[in-house]
Every structure is written in structure tokens, then in C-alpha cells.
Amino acid sequence: MKKIIVDYKKGMFFDTLVNNNVYGVILNSEEYSLNPLDGLKIDELLNLNKELKKYNLKSFINVDRLIKEEEIDEFVSYFKKIYDLFDFYIYSDMSVLTMVNDYSKLIYYPKTYISSTNELKAYSKLNIKSFLSNELSFEEIEDIDKANIPYSLEVFGFHQMFYSKRHLLSLYKEWFNIETNVKNKELFIKEELRDEFYPIFETDKGTLIYTDYCYYLFSELDKLNNVDMVYINSAFIDLNTYLYVISLYNELISDGDTLELEKELLSIGYKLDKGFLLKKSVLLKNSGGESDE
């Protein structure tokens, strides 16, 4: 059975998640998460963890930020302080592997990197769970699925397509002498020769740019046999809509009417698209580790 994991959003009730067979909840570290959702301090993480345990929900701590050289000691101290307290840790910086001896709590999700069975096997041998790249076509995902190695997928949400440690919006604001607040605020960027408006978000940790559409992989899930966890991303989605989307994926996984459920998903009021799912990407590597292109 595929397991649903979701973001923590203020105002959600955990019993609603239990009723929708949610497996676990992602809590974003204030210091070390890149997610544009509100970050949580350690005391908030601990309090929420207690609540999650009451509902038998797993706790996932998101520490996916890239770590600078001068931050390593502080990050090591933070990571070791909390490691035994929560169920899983989502990371993208490889320095995490030097901080613990037991990798069974680690989930590697660098957004675009894992695109071959060899990569999946390597992390599986280390007992590390991992997400496939969010830019693979369904044909490529099916090829990896045939390796019979468990993996996870982000199946819904605005995909992060760019990250820089630089504060690009603040630099733009300074250069053009703009007074508008740009930090921790959903804004949009448009290329001169394109029509799309891409969500752009700046925090103290840098600048993030997302797809102009909300990606979804839905009916295709029935054809994948080795998906372990499916992540429903809530960034830029309002709470009520998010809970409704969770319920639709729960019905899908519970053998609901796929076509009817997908129609309902498409009517939620956001611009939905399958993105790379129906296109051949250049990311998939063959068994020898070389690019197919």
C-alpha cells in the first residue's frame, strides 16, 4: 500500500489526516528547511511531535537546505540534538551522512538528482529512502519502477525548479530602489519572451522559483508497483483545498474510481498540469551511468 505524507499547515486537524489514511506529516525546520511554508523552532517541533504520536502519525523533519562551510558545526549540533526524537529526516546536503551512523531515518530528496536505477540502488544499499527526480517522464519512472526497489514520489504541488543562496529579489529591489517588501512573500517573475508567471519566493536562506503550474501525477499511480511514499506538497495551496486533494489521493490509493477522482482533482481551481510526466527528459541515465542523450 502506498503511504501518503503531507505538509503541516497551521489550522489542520490531525484526526482529519488519520481519516484519510495519512502516514506522516512533514515539519519544516526554521533554521534548515527551504520550504516556503512557515519554519518551526525546536520547541514547536517537539510539541507537534507529541501530538502526532497521539494520532499514530509519523514525524518527518525537513532539513533540506544546503549547508555553508561556516555553518557545519552549528548544523551538526542541531542535527544530533534532535535525531533520536523524530521518525524521519528529509535532506539534500550530503554532509548529513557524516553526522549519524544509522541511516534508516534519512530520506534523500534533492529535487532533480535521482534519475537512474543505479542511484536508487546505491541509496537503498545504505538503507536510505529516496525520492525520484521531479523532472522525469512517466516512461522513465516506469523503467526505474521495474528495478523492484522502493522509492518515493512527489505527486502533487508546485515544483521547485530553481534555488540560489543569493537574495535575488532584495538585490533587484535595491538596484531599482523599490520600497515594496519582498521577503517571505509570494511574488511572480515573468520572462520577457514568455507568457508564464512563475512563483518566486525569497527567505533568509535564499531565493526559490517554482513552476507556473501545479504538477500532478494521479491516475498513473495505479501502474507503479514499487512506490513507497507519495508526497502531496502544500506550498501556495490554501488549507481547505489541500485537505480536499489529500482526500482524493486517499480514495485513489484505496481503489476509488480513478477517472472520476481525476476529474474532481482538475476542478479544484488551480492551474494543474502533468509537466514533464508526458515528456521525455534528458535526465535518465542508463545502467552504465551515462546520459541517454
CATH code, domain with 246: 3.20.20.70
Q: How many domains is the chain built from?
A: 2
The conformation of residue 145, written as its DSSP 8-state character, comes to H
- Does 181 fall in a domain? yes
Q: What is the model's pTM?
A: 0.90
81 and 166 share a domain?
no
167 and 223 share a domain?
no
Give backbone dihedrals phi and psi of 74, rounded to 5 degrees, phi first: -65, -40
32 and 175 share a domain?
no
247 and 151 share a domain?
yes
206 and 220 share a domain?
no
77 and 126 share a domain?
yes
| pLDDT (0 to 100) of residue 138 | 93
- Residue that is written with C-alpha cell 537512474 in the block: 116
Q: Which residue ranges in the chain fall short of pLDDT 70?
A: 279-293
112 and 219 share a domain?
yes
10-29 pLDDT, tens per residue?
999 999 999 999 999 999 99
| pLDDT (0 to 100) of residue 281 | 53
Domain carrying residue 180? 160-210
Residue 201: CA atoms inside 13 Å, Cβ hemisphere, count? 21
Give backbone dihedrals phi and psi of 167, rounded to 5 degrees, phi first: -95, 80
122 and 184 share a domain?
no
Pairing of strands 206-210, 160-164: antiparallel
132 and 78 share a domain?
yes
278/273 Cα distance (integer angstroms): 10
The DSSP secondary structure of 242-267, one letter per residue, reads HHHHHHHHHHHHTT--HHHHHHHHHT
- Does 180 fall in a domain? yes
| pLDDT (0 to 100) of residue 280 | 61
Pairing of strands 214-216, 187-189: unpaired
| pLDDT (0 to 100) of residue 158 | 92
- Does 283 fall in a domain? no
**Residue 43 in grid coordinates:** 520547541
| pLDDT (0 to 100) of residue 184 | 81
- Does 284 fall in a domain? no
Instruction: With beta carbons less than 8 A apart as the criterion, state whether 153 and 133 touch.
Output: no
| pLDDT (0 to 100) of residue 3 | 97
Is the C-alpha dihedral spanning 244, 197, 110, 11 positive or negative? negative
65 and 195 share a domain?
no
| pLDDT (0 to 100) of residue 135 | 85
